[in-house]
Structure 1
Amino acid sequence: MHIRAYLRASTKGQDAHRARDDLLAFAEERGLKIAATYIENESGASLKRPELFRLLHDCHPGDVLLIEQVDRLSRLNAEDWELLKTEIQRRRVKVVALDLPTSWMMATADKDAIHSRMMDAINGMMLDMLAAIARKDYEDRRRRQAQGIVKAKADGRYKGRPEDEKRNEGIIKMLEAGMSWNSIVAGTGCSRSTLARLAKRVSGEITS
């Protein structure tokens, strides 16, 4: 059995390494060693998480996926959570979360078959519940954020997201060099609406 730690933060402005010490302490208290750590800055509401799936690909049956909180693993909608959960179960990976005490025994010595099945069932139920709570929290925050923007616009206080000047300068240089829109979108991840706005800036239709 190998312990594989997964650390995730939603944006590059957040520190995905923050929980590393807590995961190390959890393993050391149980005489365990973390074999590998996988770190990424991706939204928990998306299945597009390369490091998580690299972790699962590296796992052998019985390995442990160690996380700080269930929401580090999932803020997914119900359909995507079922897809991820099915992949975890197919690879026979045990999920252990510091905020889910029922999962802690999964990281320790092998249990008899009946005890193991019972703990798997209890842990699976708790995982489903916490994943649903994490999704609801995500949706509530998004709703409050949208309501705040509507109010700020009504009050004349909304300024929108600040421009990523460094990235946009690079995109402008690509446009001036004659690169195709598809290539620029693929290379930078910018939206086509942003690209259209910058293309107008290059052509002189807008100045800012």
Structure 2
Amino acid sequence: MTKSIPLVRAYLRASTEQQDADRARGALLAFADSHGQRIAGFYPENESGAKLDRPELFRLLNDSQPGDVLLCEQVDRLSRLTDADWQTLRGIIQAKGIHIVSLDLPTSHQLITGNAEDTFAGRMLGAMNGMLLDMLAAIARKDYEDRRRRASEGIAKAQKAGKYKGRAIDVELHRRIRTCLDAGLPIRKAAAVCGCAKSTVQRVQANLEQEETQAQG
């Protein structure tokens, strides 16, 4: 039976539609090339790393076979999850036999070749890599929580001073989304066409439904 050749799949994530999820593509291509590997597929998406349910991430996992590599720029691109959700994701990845390689985790770099040997040294390095991966995931979550706390404190301070006006709506983006929805496009397709997150399309759809309800009332 011929052994399948491990494939490298790159995961790219940005939190909002205003950010470029593809920003790290060049760095990931250069990293893979420096290790004599090619990237079989890119999976960019605009979703919060604090969410476990991310369509492109799970499409990558579903496409992967045992021994394949999930390549990312930084561990926080993969996870800003709570510990419980991170353990769930880690369990799924481990059960599928997928290797996580992150540019900010040097102990993982040897895994991109797919030739990690089951030796004592290899197993020790694997254990160290897993420990550091958990540590970076915990740091990423703490950073996420600290950012939210500082943002909440800043909003509260601005509200007290009467200066907080909320986040400005991208009127042009919302107009394009409305056009897509009026044309009957499903949420996922509308998000792809408009280059935004599904959550943004869902908010616009909810506003449209509310407007229709008020008009009927």
Query: Do the two structures share a fold, i.e. TM-score over 0.5?
Result: yes
Aligned to 2:203: 190
CA distance in 1, matches of 2:116, 2:212: 61
Of residues 13, 18, 24, the one that matches 1:13 is 18
Of residues 64, 72, 77, the one that matches 1:72 is 77
Aligned to 1:85: 90
**What are the ranges of 5 or more consecutive residues in structure 2 without an aligned counterpart?**
1-5, 183-198
**What are the ranges of 5 or more consecutive residues in structure 1 without an aligned counterpart?**
175-185
CA distance in 2, matches of 1:125, 1:24: 26
What secondary structure, in the 3-state scheme, does the structure 1 residue paired with 2:101 have? strand
Report the CA distance between 1:110 and its aligned residue.
3.3
Alpha-carbon distance change, 163 to 123 in structure 1, aligned in 2, over 3 angstroms: same
Could you state the TM-score of these two structures normalised by the residue count of structure 2?
A: 0.79
What secondary structure, in the 3-state scheme, does the structure 2 residue paired with 1:190 have? helix
1:132 aligns with 2:138: yes
Aligned AA for 2:156? V
CA distance in 1, matches of 2:106, 2:48: 25
CA distance in 1, matches of 2:210, 2:201: 15
CA distance in 1, matches of 2:203, 2:153: 25
Report the CA distance between 1:203 and its aligned residue.
7.0
Aligned ranges 1:16-95 → 2 under 5 Å: 16-95=21-100
Point out the more displaced range, 29-38 or 111-120: 111-120
Aligned AA for 1:14? Q
1:119 aligns with 2:98: no
Aligned AA for 1:110? A
Aligned AA for 2:161? D
**Paired-residue identity, %:** 54
CA distance in 1, matches of 2:59, 2:205: 30
Aligned to 1:4: 9
Report the CA distance between 1:170 and its aligned residue.
3.7
